[in-house]
Structure 1
Amino acid sequence: MGLQLHCRVWGEGIPSLPILLLHGHPGNADCMEVFAEAVAGMHPCVAPDLRGYGRSQVRDPFEMSAHLEDLQELLDRLGWRECLLLGWSLGGILALELALRLPGRVKGLVLVASAACPRSNHPPTDFWDQLNTGIASLLNWLWPGWSWNINTFGRRSLYRYLIQRHTPRTYRYLAQAALPAYLHTSPQARQALRAALRQGYNREGELHRLHLPVLILAAEQDCHITVASSLATARLLPQCTCIVYPNVAHLFPWEIPEQVGQDLRRWLRAQDWAKGGSCKVPSEGGAAS
């Protein structure tokens, strides 16, 4: 039996096809607020804290397949016969897997900084990278978006591989969402991901089965999941729109939220979604029931 995941809800009662928002690693439901705000008034959204993340903590080790069991059970509890999936990074991989598992229920996919065969070209890191990241994160938590901290420590930290636009607004996202998510990512979740990475992952050979609209959003400077990986996925999907943003990196929705939101809304409006679909969502902040 799957874990009853803690969820955040936006747009309860909107009579439109609902969207399940899936965060990355490390992450939680709060990290997906930028997407929920982008589609406010268009689609209801539910974002779970995945198993081992945020407020969906566990004590026992688990494998990555447990996420799919949890999510399928969540869809059943919500009563969603049809939905859209939007996944960021690891969440995009889970969205792909869920679409392959439940082809009749998933009507569209949005993959953000993700790929069916993710590849990385992250440079090696050292002690000073870690130290600068710790200092930058602490100061940014105390004084979000402080320019002196950004220029003194942020640009010398590991943030330089996650973002390209070191603006106060981006650092406020890091303080409000990224740092709490990092601190509430469990050892069990980290171990499950490490084990999966050691085994390798490649679902490119299955993409021809996904006959549904797909939007891929990718960053030109992403070294965690490269733009080449995302483009390779896009070429293999029968119905795919791909947008690559210049001068941004893996956390680009927090670098250019207006542009990402505009492109997401435009793509959603262009699709012929089913009208009057079922939409049952729990109350704000609670677990689905």
Structure 2
Amino acid sequence: MPRLRIHGNDVHYLEYGDPGSPPLVVVHGLYGEASTMAPLAEQFGDKFRVIVPDALGHGLSAHPPAFGLEDQGRMLTGLIAALGYDAASLLGVSMGSYLSAQAAAQEPARISGLVLVVSKAHGRSSSMAAYAAREGFDLAAATPEETVGFMAGALWSPHTPQPEREEFLAAQLRLQQVVLTPQDRAAIDQSLRDFDLRPLLPAITAPTLVVSGRADGLNPPEAGEEVARGIPGARFEVYERSGHMLPVEEMDRLVTEVEGFLLS
């Protein structure tokens, strides 16, 4: 399992595709890890060298007691540099989109293309934490199975049948390598408290695609559209048959459109 030391933190990552292909860094969402992004990352392996890191505080990367979006952004651009690239494309999903936007604003020259999936520009907390607080659900005490079950109503489109949802959950549990502790989750939640990317978005120079799911109960299309409005020249798309789980619900469409966008 490859690992690099980036700005004082060990960063674990997975790789797919031909090393000679254009680089694409794929960034997972809240409480996720590189391994759980394998189904999506593998789809890009025919046309990209895909690098999927564990974000700080997640998976097999370092779990510092305190970190923020700025640290995550520096990790991503530092990883691109450490792998020998002048620049790479970034694709971030949910929380991964916040990290990717942060990186693209901090070091615009390092990012050649940017795709932000089910994103938002600001929040008092993570979208999951905000939803759980509204519903009185204790995320810190919940198992991964309990969390996914509770979040189902906010995550999925009504177009996605229950057997497909259960199949995805079972696959994710098989792929997961690290179970986060309550302390890990608390540090991650703190890193997203009162974040606001809006002042940074105009600094992004990479061609940018922002994609939202019509039925997303966490980051609705209005949130994605706000992100796109803040980035010069960004393109915005809504997937009508998706919720927050857009990369699963309409994976084929997403892969086709991302490849066309980044390779055009």
TM-score category by the smaller chain? 0.7 to 0.9
Equivalent positions of 1:115-130 (< 5 A) are: 115-118=120-123, 122=131, 124-125=134-135
TM-fit CA distance, 1:88: 0.7
After superposing on structure 2, the runs of 4+ consecutive aligned residues of structure 1 that deviate more than 6 Å are: none
Deviation sequence 1:167-199 (CA, Å, 0-9, x none)? 43343222222676496234444223322443x
Equivalent positions of 1:168-207 (< 5 A) are: 168-177=163-172, 181=176, 184-198=179-193, 200-207=194-201
Q: Which of 205, 227, 233 is residue 221 of structure 2 equivalent to?
A: 227
Q: Which structure exhibits the higher relative contact order, with contacts defined as CA atoms closer than 8 Å and separated by 6 or more residues?
A: 1
Q: Which of 3, 7, 15 is residue 9 of structure 1 equivalent to?
A: 15
Say whether 1:159 aligns with 2:152.
yes
Residue ranges of structure 2 left out of the alignment (5+ in a row): 1-6
Q: Which of 68, 76, 80 is residue 81 of structure 2 equivalent to?
A: 76
Count how many residue pairs are aligned between Structure 1 and Structure 2.
247
Say whether 1:63 aligns with 2:72.
no
Say whether 1:262 aligns with 2:225.
no
Matched-pair contact (CA < 8 Å) for 2:105–2:203: yes
How far apart in 2 are the matches of 1:3 and 1:188?
18
Query: What code does the residue aligned with 2:59 have?
Result: G
What residue in structure 1 maps to residue 25 of structure 2? 20
State the secondary structure of the residue aligned to 1:205: coil
Q: Which of 90, 93, 97 is residue 98 of structure 2 equivalent to?
A: 93
Query: What code does the residue aligned with 1:122 have?
Result: Y
Specify whether residues 137 and 111 from structure 1 end up closer, same or farther in structure 2 by C-alpha distance, changes over 3 A only: same
TM-fit CA distance, 1:237: 1.7
Q: With structure 2 as the length reference, what TM-score do the two structures score? A: 0.81
Specify whether residues 182 and 245 from structure 1 end up closer, same or farther in structure 2 by C-alpha distance, changes over 3 A only: farther
Identical pairs, percent? 27
Query: What code does the residue aligned with 1:161 have?
Result: A
Query: What code does the residue aligned with 1:54 have?
Result: G
Matched-pair contact (CA < 8 Å) for 1:117–1:233: no
Matched-pair contact (CA < 8 Å) for 1:116–1:204: yes
Matched-pair contact (CA < 8 Å) for 1:116–1:203: yes
RMSD, aligned CA: 2.9
Matched-pair contact (CA < 8 Å) for 2:74–2:103: no
Matched-pair contact (CA < 8 Å) for 1:220–1:248: yes
State the secondary structure of the residue aligned to 1:222: coil
Matched-pair contact (CA < 8 Å) for 2:241–2:250: no
State the secondary structure of the residue aligned to 2:58: coil
The answer to which of 60-69 and 92-101 deviates more is 60-69
Q: Which of 101, 105, 108 is residue 103 of structure 1 equivalent to?
A: 108
Matched-pair contact (CA < 8 Å) for 1:2–1:73: no
- In our comparison, the structure showing a higher alpha carbon Rg is 1
Matched-pair contact (CA < 8 Å) for 1:170–1:254: no
Deviation sequence 1:43-85 (CA, Å, 0-9, x none)? 1101011222122253x41212432343333223211111001
How far apart in 2 are the matches of 1:188 and 1:85?
29
Specify whether residues 71 and 221 from structure 1 end up closer, same or farther in structure 2 by C-alpha distance, changes over 3 A only: same
Specify whether residues 183 and 162 from structure 1 end up closer, same or farther in structure 2 by C-alpha distance, changes over 3 A only: farther
Matched-pair contact (CA < 8 Å) for 1:52–1:186: no
